[in-house]
Amino acid sequence: MEAGLVITFAILLFVLITVAKGVRIVPQGEEWIAERLGKYQGTLRPGLNFLIPYLDKVSYKLVTKDIILDVQEQEVITRDNAVILTNAIAFIKITDPVKAVYGVTNFKEAIRNLIMTTLRSIVGEMELDEALSSRDKIKARLRESIADEAIDWGLTVKSVEIQDIKPSPSMQKAMELQAAAERERKAMVTRAEGAKQSAILEAEARLESARRDADAQVQLAEASAESIRRVTAALGTEPGPMLYLLGEKYISSVQKLASSDNAKVVLLPADIQETLGGLLGNVAKLGGRA
C-alpha cells in the first residue's frame, strides 16, 4: 500500500514538472527565446506558449519595451586639441530578438560602446566652440552613424540625447583666463580709441582757435589800417591835430596805469613835463597861426 502511494506521488510530481516545463506564460512587453537541444527553436510571444518538456528550454528573456541606456561620461579631444567631457543617453528598442541574442554577445554593452566611440569620432572633427554649441548636430550625426549597426543587432535607436558637454576643469580654467584677457584687450582698445578721439578733438579745437585768432588779427589790422587812413584824411598835412591826439593817448595811458588795482607804485616818465610842454606849446603855436 505504501509503495503504491509513493509511486502515485512520484507520477503526479513528474506530471506536474512536465506540465510546468511544457507550458510558458509570457507577460506583455517581453519575448522569450526557446532552444531545443541547444539550437534556436522559436520565439515565445506574450501569452500562453507550449514547449516540448525536457527538450525545449527558455534560454533568453528579452524586454521589448523601450530601453533607457545610459552612456557614461568620457573625455573627448577636439580638433584644436581641447579636452571636453561629454555623456549621453540612448533610447533603444529590440525589434528582432533573434539578432539581439545571437548577433552580439551583449547588445546593451555593444550599443553603449558604439555610441561612445562614435561620439568621440564626431566631436574630434569639430573645433571646441563648434562642439560646445552644436548639440543637435552631434545628436543627429550620432543617431545616423549607429543606425545601421543597431539594425544588424536587431535594435532600433529611437533617440540619442547629449546629456552634457562641457570643457574639462583645466580647459575651463584656461577659457576663463582667455576670456578675461579678451575683456582686458577690448577695454584697452576702447581706452585707446577714446584717447585718440580726445586728441583729435583737442587738435581740431586748437586749429579752429588759431584760425579764428588769425582771422581776428587780420580784421583788427584791416580796422587799424582803415582808421589810420581816415585819420590821415581828416588831419591832412597839419601836425597840430596829430600831436593833440598823441598827447591825449599818452595821458589816457598814464591814467589807466595809475588806476589799476595791482598798481602799488606809479612810475611817471622823467620827461613827462617836457613832453606835455612841447605838446601844449605846439598846439598853442598852431592855434596862433590859425
Q: Please return the burial class of 126, using the count of CB atoms within 10 Å of its CB with bins 0-12, 13-18 and 19+.
A: buried
Q: If we measure between CA atoms, which residue out of 129, 124, 126 comes closest to residue 75?
A: 124
Is residue 290 pLDDT above 50, yes or no? no
Q: If we measure between CA atoms, which residue out of 73, 167, 176 comes closest to residue 127?
A: 167
Alpha-carbon gap, residue 255 to 239, rounded angstroms: 25
Alpha-carbon gap, residue 107 to 130, rounded angstroms: 32
Domains of the chain, residue spans: 2-63, 67-173, 238-290
Alpha-carbon gap, residue 171 to 82, rounded angstroms: 7
What pLDDT is recorded for position 245?
Answer: 62
pLDDT tier, 234 (very low <50, low <70, confident <90, very high otherwise): low
pLDDT (average), residues 141-170 = 86
What pLDDT is recorded for position 61?
Answer: 92
In this predicted model, what pLDDT tens digit does every residue of 108-141 receive, in sequence order? 999 999 999 999 999 988 888 888 888 888 888 8
Q: Which residue has the higher pLDDT, 74 or 243?
A: 74
CATH code assigned to 67-173: 3.30.479.30
Q: Is pTM beyond 0.75 here? A: no
In this predicted model, what pLDDT tens digit does every residue of 8-39 receive, in sequence order? 888 888 888 888 888 889 999 999 999 998 89
CA angle 155, 157, 158 (to 5 degrees): 125
